[in-house]
Amino acid sequence: MQDRVALVTGSSRGIGRAIALELAGAGIHVVVTYLERRQAALDVAAEVRSFGVRGLALRLDVSSRAAVRETFAAATAEFGNIDILVSNAGILEQKPFGTITDDDWDRTMAVNLRGAFICAQELLPGMQERGFGRIVNIASSGGQVGGTLAVHYAASKAGLIGLTKSLARLGAPNVLVNCVAPGLIESEMTEAEIASEAGREKIRTIPIGRAGLAQEVGRVVAFLVSDASSYVTGQTINVNGGLYLG
């Protein structure tokens, strides 16, 4: 995978950061993207470069096609091509079903689902022309089992799993598209949930008996973009400690 270039959306923290570092450790150049946390993204890009590969931090609003095109143009100007796309950017809002507004729904879909669609639509043709590409979408076990306090989030992640299957058919045979569905992973996004009684009860239902680590997700993504996964496409790989056995 030397000289391959990956772009990881939402990689200034949490799972995205862990993915960026795992890819860098595999010898892949990484474009780190952020929406608001510029300094954090710059720090991650510096960590990427510590592996002896190139790292660049760029601002990216995945919900805007114009912004995606602008960021991708800057990335290709610096690196030449983008060989690997990891659509990780996402938002999680927990609130009772009856209080979810149309704006809540639209905002969640725009980032979690439309963002991955836009990014893939912009990059897939170039990958096909070059005869190589890897796309990994980061979904969630919530998209597999549902969520009573984050219905819009669960729906967006279920849609991402469906998008993955369609893209896998479109991208074959040279562009492999897969999905990773993390369970309860320790991160800034899940801090409050893990500390709550509901979170502790959820952990008690996980066969492995603990929340996962972001780097455990990153390692699976690194496998999916590597030559070791050359016969894997259209799959959803669960990284959840046994929380969902689908």
Which residues participate in catalysis according to the annotation?
A: 153
Q: What is the phi/psi pair of residue 199, to 5°?
A: -65, -40
Buried-exposed string 179-211: b where 16+ CB fall within 10 A, e elsewhere: bbbbbbbbbeebeebbeeeebeebbeebeeeeb
Closest CA to 115 of 180, 159, 181, 64: 64
Rg from Cα positions in the chain = 17
